[in-house]
Every structure is written in C-alpha cells, then in structure tokens.
Chain A
Amino acid sequence: MKTKTLKHLLSLFTVLFIGVAFFGCNSQSELGSNSDAAQKVYVAPGEYDEYYGFFSGGFNGQMGVYGLPSGRHIYTIPVFSQAPVNGYGYNEETKAMLETSYGFIPWGDAHHPELSQTNGEIDGRYIFINENNTPRLAKIDLKSFQTTEIIEIPNSAGNHASPFVTQNTEYISAATRFSIPLDDTDVPINSYKKNFQGTISFIKLQDDGSMKLDFQLLVPGFNYDLSHSGKGPSHGWSFFTSYNSEEAHTLLEINASKNDKDFIAAVNWKKAAEYAAAGKGEMVKADYRRNYYDHDKHMAYSEKHTEVRVLDPSELEGIIYYLPTPKSPHGVDVTPDGKLIVAGGKLSTVIPVHSFDKMIKAIENEEFEGEVYGIPVLKYESILAGEVENPGLGPLHTEFDGKGNAYTTAFITSEIVKWSLETFEVLDRIDTYYSPGHLMIPGGDTRKPDGKYLVALNKITKDRYLPTGPEMFHSAQLIDISGDKMKLLLDFPTEGEPHYAQAVKAELLMKDQVRFYKLAENNHPYVTRSESETKVVRDGKTVHVYMTSIRSHFTPDNIEGIEIGDKVYFHVTNLEQDWDVPHGFAVQGARTAEILIMPGETRTLVWEPQKVGVQPFYCTDFCSALHQEMQGYVRVSPAGSNTPIKYSTGK
C-alpha cells in the first residue's frame, strides 16, 4: 500500500511538472518558475510599492497611477476629461481647466507623461502630459496629484510630439503632428505643399512654476511625431522625428512611405531662445487659453492669450538641422550620456544611431547634402554612429538601463530587443503579448536610469485576461532587466490606452504629499469656515447655499424657499482636518456629477430644480458609521410662490 501510494504520488508530480513546464508557464519560459516571478512582484498587505508609475490614459484623457512592481492601480488623475468620480470638469471650481479657444471641451486624448527634471534627473516636482486632439499641455503637481495648469498650443494640430522636457525643465516642447494652413485660411486640401506648415513650440516653465508659450518655430509641412531633449553634452538641443516628408495629404499609409529617408529635426533651442529674447521673429496673432488652478482660492481660472512669437528657421540661422533617418522614424531617444541619438524607423530594417559629436562636426564643416525649405540637411554618413542589425520589425521606442544597454520595442514582431550601446549588437530579446508601442524604464529617458524593471505597453490584449466582450483594457507587462536575460514577471491591465508611462522611486514623492487643506488658509470666494457662517442667500433667481460638512451632518440640512426657475449654488466646505476624510454631495435631479470635497476644501454644485416637492441630498462618500444619517432636504416651491428662505440643522 505504501509503495503504491508513493508511486501514485510520483506520477502525480510528473503530470503536474509536465503541465507546468509545457502549459502553465509558456510565457515565463525565462524564469525558473512562476513562484520566482510572483515573489518579485508581491507587495505584502500594508506595504508600499517601490515605484509610482504614471501611465497616460490615452483616449480616456486621464493619467493612471500604478504601483510597481505590483501593477496595482492606485489612483487616476483627471486631466483632460471630465471625471464624474469627483466632479472634476463638472463643478464650478474646475470647469475652467477645460476651457479652450474652441470653448469648453469635456474630453481629450492624453499621450505622453513626462516627469520634470533637474540636471537631467527626475526631481519629483511635476509631471506633464500632452493632449493630441485639441493641442494642449497639462502640468500636474506631484504634491497633490492634481492637474494645476493646462496651456493650449495655437498654430498646431495633433499635439503628438509633446511634452518633452529639457535637462532642467527650462522648456517643455510641443510639435504638430498634422501640418495645416497656419492662419486658418480656407484653402483647397490639395494645395498642401503650397499652404501647409508645421510648428514646434517651446513652453517655458517660469520661476513661479507657471507655464508660458515662449516661442514657436515655423517648420516645413511634414508630420512631427516624437521628441527628446539632449542632455549633458547635448544639453541645449532637442530632437524631433518627422515623417511624411513626401507632404502627402491623402492615403498616407502609401503616400507617406515612399521616401527612403525622412528627417529628425535637431533643434538648437538655446539659440532659438536667445533669438526670442532678443526680439527676433515676429509676434503673430493667436487665440489660445492658459488655465490654472489657484490653491489659495481652491478655484481654476482661464486666461485668454492673443499673440505668440514665431521664429522662421529659414531666416534665422543655426536653429534647425535635418538628420536624414530611415524610414518614417517614430521615436527618438537620447542615451543617458547625451552622446547618441537613437531613432525608431518604424519601416526600417535597422535602428539608426546618430552621434551628437559627429553632428556638431558636420555642422561646423558644412557637410550638407542639400537643404529643404531653407533648412540644411546633414549627410547621413557624416553623422551616423552605427546601425543595429536585426532589431525586429517595426522598431518604435528605445529606453536605457544606465548600464550600457538599450531596449527597443519591435511592434510588428511583438518583442523587446536589448542591444549594446558599445557594439550595437543585439544581446537578448523577449516576446511581449502583444505588439508593444512605448516601453518604460524608471528614469529610462534621463541621465540616471534605474535599470531594474521595464514595462512594455502593449497595444493588443487579445487573450491575456478574462474576455470582456469586444472591448478590453490594454495590457502592460513588467519585465525584470536586472540580469543579462530579460524575464517576464507580470501582466497587468491598464485603463484607456497608455501610450507612454514614466516611473519614479516612491520615496521621492511621498515626503511632500498634501494630506488635507488647511481650513484657515481656504480663501475660496464662497468658503464657509464654520457652521456659524452657514447661510442661504437669494439674489434674484440665483440662490447661494453656504454649506458645511463634517462627520456626519451637513449644515444647513433643511432648506426651504427654493422655487422652480432658481439656479442654486451649493458651496460645500468640508470642515474636516484629517487625511482621507472626503465628503461627497449629491442632490436629486442635479444634471451634473456629484462633488467630492477634500478636507478643508470648498466645491460647488449647481442645481436647477425642475420638480416641485421636497428633494433629498446626501453625502456620497461613506464617511463614518453614521454616514447613512448624513442627509438633508430641500423644499422646492412653484415659481413665484414666495416661500420665505429658511434653513437650519437640528431644529
């Protein structure tokens, strides 16, 4: 009996082993076992992740915050889209953030998160993100994880090559994906070559932290795609990929893929900034907004701007040089030492790597193969440092580990390829599931990469998770890059479409976090700092309710004298002064989102009652054991009934 059992046990283990070896771990073939990977990504209950990961939400217009290595989704920062979850873009305080020259826009297409840098290293102050559809650029304050500024980019369409920061965040850049007739003229589309142009914009981060559109460069009508700034020796330069040097205006799939080489625009932004400071170029009419959030008043404001300085590089020498690059280059990435410029030519069979030193020498020696619209084109052979052979098909983006290696995504062959910055030889490759666009290494585009993990941001999900009908979240994959061989550790789903992500050691951001707003410092125009200040004030058809909330009651919680036809502003101040005690507010029939009010903050919900009767309101965020008691009533009388204004709590 005993031997028989043993025999059975043995065969059971054999079956298990074969099962695991051949089926269970097919995607983890590089690892000893699943439990190795599990241990590396396991963050015990109550423990923190090592990194904050900031993932663009793509077409959800927001930014997702994920803990790494666990892949846990820990927060979503509302940026370019209204967020009913907390009222961002719905309430009176934040609506102005979404104002544009086209009016109020409730949605945006968020693409590339970019952490601010000092001396080429992540400094933990801000994270920026661009909006593609209505060209804009947002700044998020990492003390509060709140969007505090959004600037619109005029003379632009499809703000894709954005927002990339210079070494000390002197500037944040933006560039047009779509070239357009710049002065909004009504011209035939087939007059593209004659009338269409692009722009590259430089937004200055001023000493007080606010953004200013400093100048724009007029560039030929190609499609500008992505960018990165130089660092170290190449500090002062920025590099922008372009495609469609054919200047096609229809069926770009074929017509923009004809030329052997397109261009990387090497922009000497320091020189351009000097020209701008000296008053060169011209101020042209423009229509754009700068929206900012005033923490003192807990309120956003929208500022109208009417002109911008435009510099023409065909007239002002030394601002732009074109680096010929095969073939429809997408990403452009600068090595941590600032010496090499790596291009992801998405239709190319090699990865071309340009040398910054050679570029400077070629400029000095005027090794030009010609010029395009007055911009000198450097000779490919003069600037090339080398080509990476056999990098996989569809190379898009490259990041670095700070240990002499580069990692490039190959979209078509669905893999990540690791190669040496010294020999340009491929060292390792790993399959991803499926079709990676960007990839991210914490600090991987800075002078100090943290080469422990890599995240592949895959465009196709297919069979990776439980199916959810035709639409699925995108898949991200965490890969261990600490050793010679890359090892797949974890799949995790991400909201929207994370085009790009950046990550930073959590300890850098944790120390300065805001936990609540000080009531005494709340200067909102309708703040109510104590219950004794609560009131209901009628001004014609407008009624202002100055309300407070604290666990677990509103003051006032009985309101009478509201009539049909009134516009009622509920200004609710949360009197709590402790971390993580928000209160919510919703009133029946309100045709907007709830407001979620952080401790010490004031938020305003507008309500235009439509039905006579008594309407309830309540706290939407479970706040205490008596949360279900946190409620009130508003009496709504017919129009013109002159029911006197009356309000109270506990009476």
Chain B
Amino acid sequence: MKILKTILVTALLLTVACGGGDTKKDASDNKAAKSTSESGLSAFQLEHGIGPITEVITASGTDAAMIKKGEDIFVMNCSACHKVGERYIGPDVQDIIDRRSPTYMMNMILNPDEMVKKHPEARKVLAEFLAPMPNQNLSQEDARAVVEYLVSLKK
C-alpha cells in the first residue's frame, strides 16, 4: 500500500514537473523576444515608428484643403483626448512636429497598439500619460490629412 502511494505521488510529481518545465520554457522565450525588441528596431523605426509606413513621407502643413479635411477627422476621432495648446488625456499636439516626424505620426495613428508595446518613445509617453492611444482605424489617406493638420498647428 505504501508503495502504491509512493507510485501515485511520484506520478503526480512527474506531472507537475512536466507542467513546470513548460512554464519555464515559455518564460525564457518571452525574455528572448523582449531583448530582441529592445535592441532590434532599425534606425528608420526608431525615428519614424513601426507600422505600415516604411518610407519617409513629408508634410508641409500648407495644403489648405487637406488641413481642413484633417481637422474634421481630428475633431471626430482624436479631440476627445488631444487638445491644441493644452496637455489633456494625451499629449498637447500644438508643436508635435518638433518632437515627431510626419512618418512617425502616421505610424502612431495607424498602429498604436504595436507602437506602445515596442517603440521606446511611445512606451515612454504611455508611462507618463497611462492611457494607451486607441486605434481609431483611420485609412492611410485620412491619417495623412490629420498629419497635414497637425503640422500646420506649429506656431
């Protein structure tokens, strides 16, 4: 009887050990993934963000039609959290062009979930403001108009 118990306990231990082994493996995998992402961003990504925009775009902030369109989209989709000339739920966007390239803005608008997870700058902003930026599912064209508007805000 005692031996039976021993067998059962051993079997249980084996099962637990197996489970434990798996968890350990997962943890080390995660760690590996984390360290590559910390050092793994290209120079382009560091400057222009991670997302669908992989080539540098320029925005002058002078196209009046596009600025108007961008403002309308901004009011509907962004203004609940971003104010002009005022820090709110998210950062003030007045002088954003001083801090971010137009390409970076595009990627932040179009791919916020991955940006706040992987990009050191976006992570820093999240740590400060605590509310992660939602994905408002703008088309690239609409995001481009918003960027034109944001660039035009520079005083």
> Residues on A close to B: CB < 8 A?
4-5, 8-9, 12, 516, 519-520, 529-532, 548, 550-553, 555, 575-578, 581, 624-626, 650
Chain B residues contacting A550 (CB-CB under 8 Å) are: 80-81, 134
Name the contact of B75 in the complex, choosing from A530, A576, A581 (C-beta under 8 A): A530
Name the contact of B131 in the complex, choosing from A4, A577, A626 (C-beta under 8 A): A626
Given contacts A530-B76, A577-B137, contact A8 B7 (CB under 8 A): yes
Please, how many angstroms separate the alpha-carbon atoms of A553 and B81 in the complex?
9
Q: Are A548 and B76 in contact (CB under 8 A)?
A: no
Chain A residues contacting B81 (CB-CB under 8 Å) are: 550
Q: Are B4 and A8 in contact (CB under 8 A)?
A: yes
Name the contact of A650 in the complex, choosing from B7, B79, B88 (C-beta under 8 A): B88
CB proximity of A177 to chain B, nearest CB, Å: 48
Given contacts A531-B79, A548-B80, contact A625 B134 (CB under 8 A): no
Residue of B nearest to A649 (CB): B80
B17 lies within 8 A of chain A by Cβ: no
For B126-144 the 0/1 string (1 means CB < 8 A from A) is 0000111011111000000
B89 lies within 8 A of chain A by Cβ: yes
Chain B residues contacting A552 (CB-CB under 8 Å) are: 131
CB proximity of A9 to chain B, nearest CB, Å: 6
CB proximity of B4 to chain A, nearest CB, Å: 6
Chain A residues contacting B135 (CB-CB under 8 Å) are: 577-578
B32 lies within 8 A of chain A by Cβ: no
B43 lies within 8 A of chain A by Cβ: no
CB proximity of B17 to chain A, nearest CB, Å: 19
B16 lies within 8 A of chain A by Cβ: no
CB proximity of B82 to chain A, nearest CB, Å: 11
Chain B residues contacting A5 (CB-CB under 8 Å) are: 3, 7
Chain B residues contacting A4 (CB-CB under 8 Å) are: 3
Residue of A nearest to B142 (CB): A520
> Residues on B close to A: CB < 8 A?
3-4, 7, 75-77, 79-81, 88-89, 130-132, 134-138
Please, how many angstroms separate the alpha-carbon atoms of A625 and B89 in the complex?
13
Please, how many angstroms separate the alpha-carbon atoms of A650 and B90 in the complex?
13
Q: Are A581 and B88 in contact (CB under 8 A)?
A: no
Would you list the 6 A-B pairs with minimal beta carbon distance, nearest first?
A: A577-B136, A550-B80, A578-B135, A577-B137, A530-B75, A530-B76
Q: Are A576 and B3 in contact (CB under 8 A)?
A: no
Q: Are A624 and B132 in contact (CB under 8 A)?
A: yes
Name the contact of B80 in the complex, choosing from A555, A578, A624, A626 (C-beta under 8 A): A555
Chain B residues contacting A516 (CB-CB under 8 Å) are: 137
Q: Are A12 and B4 in contact (CB under 8 A)?
A: yes
Chain B residues contacting A9 (CB-CB under 8 Å) are: 7
A-B contact pairs, 14 of them (CB 8 A): A5-B3, A12-B7, A516-B137, A530-B75, A531-B80, A532-B75, A548-B80, A550-B134, A551-B134, A576-B136, A577-B138, A578-B136, A578-B137, A626-B131
Interface centre among B75, B77, B138 (most CB of A within 10 A): B77
Q: Are B4 and A577 in contact (CB under 8 A)?
A: no
Name the contact of B134 in the complex, choosing from A519, A578, A626 (C-beta under 8 A): A578
CB proximity of B91 to chain A, nearest CB, Å: 15
Please, how many angstroms separate the alpha-carbon atoms of A346 and B4 in the complex?
55
CB proximity of B5 to chain A, nearest CB, Å: 10
Q: Are A553 and B134 in contact (CB under 8 A)?
A: no
CB proximity of A90 to chain B, nearest CB, Å: 26
Please, how many angstroms separate the alpha-carbon atoms of A5 and B2 in the complex?
11
Chain B residues contacting A581 (CB-CB under 8 Å) are: 134
Given contacts A9-B7, A650-B88, contact A575 B131 (CB under 8 A): no
Name the contact of A519 in the complex, choosing from B7, B76, B130, B132 (C-beta under 8 A): B76
Chain A residues contacting B89 (CB-CB under 8 Å) are: 553
Residue of B nearest to A650 (CB): B88
Q: Are B76 and A576 in contact (CB under 8 A)?
A: no
CB proximity of B113 to chain A, nearest CB, Å: 9
Given contacts A5-B7, A8-B7, contact A575 B77 (CB under 8 A): yes
CB proximity of B84 to chain A, nearest CB, Å: 12
Chain B residues contacting A650 (CB-CB under 8 Å) are: 88
Please, how many angstroms separate the alpha-carbon atoms of A532 and B84 in the complex?
13
CB proximity of B115 to chain A, nearest CB, Å: 14
Q: Are B80 and A575 in contact (CB under 8 A)?
A: yes
Residue of B nearest to A555 (CB): B80
Q: Are B77 and A519 in contact (CB under 8 A)?
A: yes
Chain A residues contacting B137 (CB-CB under 8 Å) are: 516, 577-578
Please, how many angstroms separate the alpha-carbon atoms of A125 and B71 in the complex?
38
9 further interface pairs, Cβ-Cβ under 8 Å (given A550-B81, A553-B80) = A8-B3, A8-B7, A519-B76, A529-B76, A530-B80, A550-B80, A576-B136, A577-B137, A578-B134
Name the contact of A625 in the complex, choosing from B7, B77, B88, B130 (C-beta under 8 A): B130
Chain A residues contacting B3 (CB-CB under 8 Å) are: 4-5, 8
Please, how many angstroms separate the alpha-carbon atoms of A8 and B75 in the complex?
76
Residue of A nearest to B86 (CB): A650
Residue of A nearest to B88 (CB): A650
Please, how many angstroms separate the alpha-carbon atoms of A12 and B138 in the complex?
64
CB proximity of B125 to chain A, nearest CB, Å: 15
Chain B residues contacting A555 (CB-CB under 8 Å) are: 80
Chain A residues contacting B80 (CB-CB under 8 Å) are: 530-531, 548, 550, 553, 555, 575
Residue of A nearest to B112 (CB): A578
Please, how many angstroms separate the alpha-carbon atoms of A553 and B129 in the complex?
14
Chain B residues contacting A520 (CB-CB under 8 Å) are: 76
Residue of A nearest to B133 (CB): A551
Chain A residues contacting B79 (CB-CB under 8 Å) are: 530-532
Chain A residues contacting B77 (CB-CB under 8 Å) are: 519, 575, 577
Please, how many angstroms separate the alpha-carbon atoms of A550 and B89 in the complex?
11
CB proximity of B74 to chain A, nearest CB, Å: 9
